Amino acid sequence: MSKKLVLAFSGGLDTTYCLHTLVKQGYEIHSVFVNAGGINDDEIASIEARAYELGAYKHYSFDIKNEIWKQFVTPLVWSHARMNNEYPLLCSDRYMIVRKCLQLCDVLNTDIFAHGCTAMGNDQFRFDQTVKSIGDYSIIAPIRDLQAKVSAVRDYEIEELSKAGIEVASQHKAYSINENMLGVTISGGKIDEFQQPDDSSYLWVKQRKDWPQKPLTIKIGFEKGEAVSLNGEQLSGVQIIEELNQQLGQYGVGRHIYTGDVSIGLKGRIVFECPAIDGLLIAHQALQDTVNSKFQNQFNSVISNRWAELVYNGYFHDPHKTDLEAYLSSSQSYVTGEVTLYTEGGNLIATAIDSDYIVQDENTVYAQSAPWSPEDALGFIKLAGQATTLVNKVRR
């Protein structure tokens, strides 16, 4: 009998090559497309049709958008995490994709899991470490294996698939594109060459010439740190992300270029677009900075950097991440209110905050009036600065 395996299948170049190759090797392939958003029903149907055309024994589609919101977006927004203060970890759907595939492995009574990761980036570590954290499974990675044999891997894949009569989308020949509800990452071509990406690299975010003329105002409502409404309408987290991606993307919000250090010591350069994530992070920070204490807000950056480091580098299931999230959850107790975002295109700012928990003394106006005297201020300056004054005096 053929050995059963579960293949994480996106329908892109790499996983198309994986399915084609594994069928030739005699495996019974159960392909899985895990819907993490950023794709419509026609595209999902096309991925299923492609899987069967390539020889899949059976194809499955699962929706994980709600899981992504709860397990990733919520703590991401609480922490304001961005790797190197730039990249908001848009590929973190990988962890939930792996879990869904392994759940199917258990149902099918097979311990063989296959994926299309290369040997060059962080995704291989995210996939493999998640597998090892969850249970005892065998991992097959045909693209990673291929890199031990050929140098121009993508060209080789395209050539082999072409010989077999399998078409590859022209866009995938120029770029490697990953889309989910969080955003889109684009690599390859001029991006890899550290040159200016051409216009065809724009996917969700509109260019300047296409921005609407009328400014955009959006109000995001939060309850204990979680976004729950847009412009007063109660929506699910997934609906909020989808709406923000559409509206803010029209105004050129959310496009970035990032160069990061991958786990194995290379520089990886990508274009990424994340209108909704940018909007949520800007709005949440404006509210949290207003309602939380000075020490809470100062400590948030410490948590943010460590949480980003763990998630970016593949340690999604490390207990330390769970500990950090326990603190983050506690810190959101009073992060409730509504934030107004405004853009005329490109730039996005939080212009107004409405909350019952704004830390504000009704008798105090910043830089104008306060319930303490000038003498009180002078005494505070003298005492608070005494150590610094003394050390400089001694060393003069």
pLDDT in tens, 84-125: 999 999 999 999 999 999 999 999 999 999 999 988 778 899
More confident residue, 369 or 246: 246
Based on the domain organization, do 73 and 217 belong to the same domain? no
Interacting residues of 354 by C-beta distance below 8 A, sequence separation 6+: 337, 338, 339
Q: Which residues contact 343 (CB under 8 A, 6 or more apart)?
A: 215, 216, 248, 251, 253, 349
* Residue 334 and residue 384 in one domain: no
Number of domains, the chain: 3
pLDDT at 174 over 70: no
Helix (H), strand (E), coil (C) string for the chain: CCCEEEEECCCCHHHHHHHHHHHHCCCEEEEEEEECCCCCHHHHHHHHHHHHHHCCCEEEEEECHHHHHHHHHHHHHHHCCCECCCECCHHHHHHHHHHHHHHHHHHHCCCEEECCCCCCCCHHHHHHHHHHHHCCCEEECHHHHHCCCCCCHHHHHHHHHHHCCCCCCHHHHHCEEEEECCEEEEECCCCCCCCCCCHHHCCCCCCHHHCCCCCEEEEEEEECCEEEEECCEECCHHHHHHHHHHHHHHCCCCEEEEEEECCCCCEEEEEEECHHHHHHHHHHHHHHHHHCCHHHHHHHHHHHHHHHHHHHCCCCCCHHHHHHHHHHHHHCCCCCEEEEEEEEECEEEEEEEECCCCCCCCCCECCCECCCCHHHHHHHHHHHCHHHHHHHHHHC
Q: Which of 252, 243, 309, 235 is nearest to 276 (CA)?
A: 243
pLDDT confidence of residue 148? 87
pLDDT of residue 361: 82
Average pLDDT over residues 283-295: 98
Residues 18 and 123 in one domain: yes
Residues 217-221, mean pLDDT to the nearest whole number: 98
- Mean pLDDT confidence for 148-166: 89
Q: Are residues 155 and 298 in the same domain?
A: no
Domain contains 191: no
- The per-residue pLDDT of the chain, averaged, comes to 93
pLDDT at 269 over 80: yes
- pLDDT classification of 396: cutoffs 50, 70, 90: very high
Q: What percent of the chain has pLDDT over 90?
A: 82
Q: How confident is the model over 329-370, as pLDDT tens digits?
A: 999 999 999 999 999 999 999 999 999 999 988 777 776 777
Is 108 among the domain residues?
A: yes
CATH number of the domain that residue 344 is part of: 3.90.1260.10
Does residue 10 form part of some domain? yes
Amino acid (1-letter code) at residue 378: L
> Is residue 88 included in any domain, yes or no?
yes
Give the residue from 150, 173, 196 where a domain finishes: 173
Highest mean pLDDT among 149-158, 183-192, 306-315: 306-315
Q: Report the range of poorest mean pLDDT among 170-174, 202-206, 247-251, 288-292.
A: 170-174
Indicate if 146 and 241 belong to the same structural domain: no
301 and 221 within one domain: yes
What is the predicted pLDDT for the residue at 326? 98
Cα–Cα distance measured from residue 386 to residue 360, given in angstroms and rounded to the nearest whole number: 28
Q: Residue 300: which domain range? A: 209-255+273-354
The per-residue pLDDT for 255 is 97
- Span 363-389, pLDDT tens digits: 777 767 778 888 999 999 999 999 999
At residue 24, φ and ψ (nearest 5 deg) are -65, -30
Looking at residue 365, its pLDDT comes to 74
**pLDDT at res. 175:** 75
User: Is 231 within the bounds of a domain?
Assistant: yes
The average pLDDT across 301-311 equals 96
Q: Which whole number is the average pLDDT over 54-64?
A: 97
Shared-domain flag, residues 96 and 231: no
75 and 117 within one domain: yes
Q: Examine the domain organization and report whether 141 and 18 are in the same domain.
A: yes
On the question of pLDDT at 1 being above 60, the answer is no
| pTM for this model (two decimals) | 0.91
